Every structure is written in C-alpha cells, then in structure tokens.
Copies of this chain bind each other. A is one copy, B any other.
Amino acid sequence: MTDATPEAGAAPEAGGSAAANGGRPEPAAPRRRDAARSRDLLVRAATELFAERGFERTTIREIGDRAGVDPALIARYFGGKTQLYLAAVQMELGDTAPADLLEEDRLRGLLERFSRRGPGPTFQAAVLPGDNTEVQRAARTYLHERLVRPLQDRFTAEQADRPRLRAELAAAAFAGIVLARTSGAFGELAEADSEDLLPLLHDLLAASRPAR
C-alpha cells in the first residue's frame, strides 16, 4: 500500500476547499494534511536520492528537504531510514519487470531509464558490501529476481554450462557499467548517448553466452 490507496483520495477532496478542482488530481493543494501524500513524496524523494548517492550517504534530512516533508515523518510513517529504503525497493519492484539483458529491447529500456533516473538504489548493493543486512538482502533479492534469474533461465534453456555463473557475471558487468556511467569516473562512458552505447553494451553482454 504504497500509493494511491483509495483512502487517500476519498476524504480530503470532499472538503469543498477554496480552489474547487475538477479533474486535476493534484493541482497545488496549498497546505493540506495528507499522510498518504507525504508518504508518497518521501518514497519518491528517497528513491531518487538513494539512486544518486547510495543508501548510507543519503541523509533523512536530505530526503525530507527534497520531498518537502519533515524528516521526522520518516520515522513516523516507515519506522526509520532502513524501512523507507525497503519501501522504495518494493516500489521499484512493482515498477520494473524482470528483464533479460540479452534482449536488445529490454536492454534499451533499462539503459534509457537509468540515463534519466540513475540506477536504482539496489545496484550499488550489488557491488558494495553493505553493513545493513536488511538493506543488503532486499537489494540482492531485487537483483536476482529482475536480472539474474531471467538470464539464468535463458542460459539453462540454451543448455549452456554454468548458467547461474554466466548470469551473475553478465549482471555484475551490467551493474558496473550502469553505475560507472553516473559515477563520473569515466568521461566518455558517462557522456555517451544510450542509443550509441546500446550496441556495444549488447555485444558485450551477449558474450556471457558460451562461445560457439
């Protein structure tokens, strides 16, 4: 129940407040108290910031600032920063379909998405040993479900040897590349248009299949 729960839209609009809005869902409600909205704003801001800077280096004050919501509400609504992260990952899980990285269309979709929004909060966990076990576990589950499993299934179907290892290898390579694009460490990689990058990336990942 992350967003758009019926309870949210039901009551507050009936108030007949000054600016009676017709179809617009969220025009500029001047100053309404709406827990669902606050929760949603927090999750959104958190998703962005976790994606940009990682879990540890994002502070709840930053999240509150970007969301325009008092950081104390993070504790109230989610329990703490960790639970907020878990909620963000849950939302991401709902948004994203499993993607077989070797299908060029899937790959394009992911790449464009990451170019706009940065990689999800989970990718850093793929590559960094985290100290927060809950966070780690959620991130790993996400990665395995969305990236590794589809590849592993493909390799298994293709009767490749070591399907799991190959899938993990490709996923790790993909994570490294996507993260590196936003890290600033590699200039040309960061600036490359995702359309230009796509064929190179696709060829690279395709090499995780057994040579023939």
Chain A residues packing against B (C-beta within 8 Å)? 52-54, 56-57, 124-131, 136, 139-140, 143, 148, 162, 164-166, 168-177, 179-189, 192, 196-197, 200-201, 203-208, 211
Say how many copies of this protein the assembly contains. Answer: 2
B204 and A128: CB pair below 8 A? Answer: no
B127 and A200: CB pair below 8 A? Answer: no
Q: A57-B131, A200-B165 are in contact. Are A177 and B172 (CB under 8 A)?
A: yes
Q: A interface, by DSSP: helix, strand, loop or mixed?
A: helix
B204 and A173: CB pair below 8 A? Answer: yes
What are 29 A-B pairs with beta-carbon distances under 8 A? Answer: A52-B129, A53-B131, A124-B128, A125-B185, A126-B180, A127-B176, A127-B185, A128-B179, A129-B183, A130-B183, A136-B185, A140-B185, A143-B185, A162-B188, A162-B200, A165-B192, A168-B180, A169-B189, A169-B200, A172-B179, A172-B186, A172-B189, A173-B174, A175-B176, A176-B176, A176-B177, A176-B180, A203-B208, A204-B204
